[in-house]
């Protein structure tokens, strides 16, 4: 029997991923005294805040379009998203900032941030695959591209340090 998954739940997970990312960057920023490191990390937190807002807006738009009917996806994309929701792919219910230690170097933070961004992309690729075209697939693609830019930016920062 095929798995079914409510698209509203998918956006709820996406919002949580973005909140986790923003919290990670803010906590990491607090570890550093240099304004450059703080500014970099706070800018990344603000980007994650914007992503969360986009997902909230998409979620509301979906509710309007779907009306009283719930929108479900099924088959492989749903099975994948269920695995993500259950923490099998990466732990979405775990605050990544809890892994930060007071003596973290900026390099360590950036390496971990790249891993977080990669995990987000993997999830959003599954979301995009599952999304009906008319319900926001293009918006998901734009977020994936921005997460890729985050990785490029973080990698560039690592090479500069």
Q: How far is CA 69 from the centre of its chain?
A: 27
Q: Rounded to an integer, what distance in angstroms lies between the CA atom of residue 22 and that of residue 136?
A: 23
Question: In 3-state terms, the chain is what percent helix, strand and coil (to 5)?
Answer: 75, 5, 20
Write down the domain spans for the chain: 4-66+73-160
pLDDT one digit per residue (tens) for the chain, 161 residues: 444 556 677 778 788 888 888 988 998 999 888 888 899 899 989 988 998 998 888 888 877 776 544 555 556 666 666 666 555 445 556 666 677 777 778 898 899 889 888 888 888 888 788 777 766 677 788 888 888 988 998 999 899 88
Cα angle, residue 63 at apex, residues 61 and 64 outer, rounded to 5°: 65
The CATH architecture of the domain made up of 4-66+73-160 is Up-down Bundle (1.20)
Whole-model pTM over 0.85: no
């Amino acid at each position: 029997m095929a798995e079914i998954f409510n698209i509203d739940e998918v956006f709820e997970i996406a919002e949580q991923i973005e909140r986790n990312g923003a919290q990670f960057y803010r906590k990491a920023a607090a570890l550093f005294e240099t304004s450059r490191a703080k500014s970099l990390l706070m800018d990344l937190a603000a980007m994650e805040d914007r992503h969360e807002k986009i997902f909230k807006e998409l979620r509301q738009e979906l509710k309007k379009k779907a009306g009283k009917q719930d929108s479900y996806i099924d088959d492989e994309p749903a099975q994948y998203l269920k695995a993500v929701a259950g923490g099998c792919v990466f732990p979405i219910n775990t605050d990544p900032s809890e892994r930060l230690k007071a003596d973290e170097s900026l390099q360590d933070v950036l390496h971990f941030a790249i891993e977080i961004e990669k995990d987000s992309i993997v999830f959003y690729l599954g979301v995009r695959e599952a999304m009906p075209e008319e319900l926001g697939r293009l918006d998901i693609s734009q977020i994936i591209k921005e997460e890729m830019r985050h990785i490029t930016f973080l990698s560039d920062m690592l090479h500069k340090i």
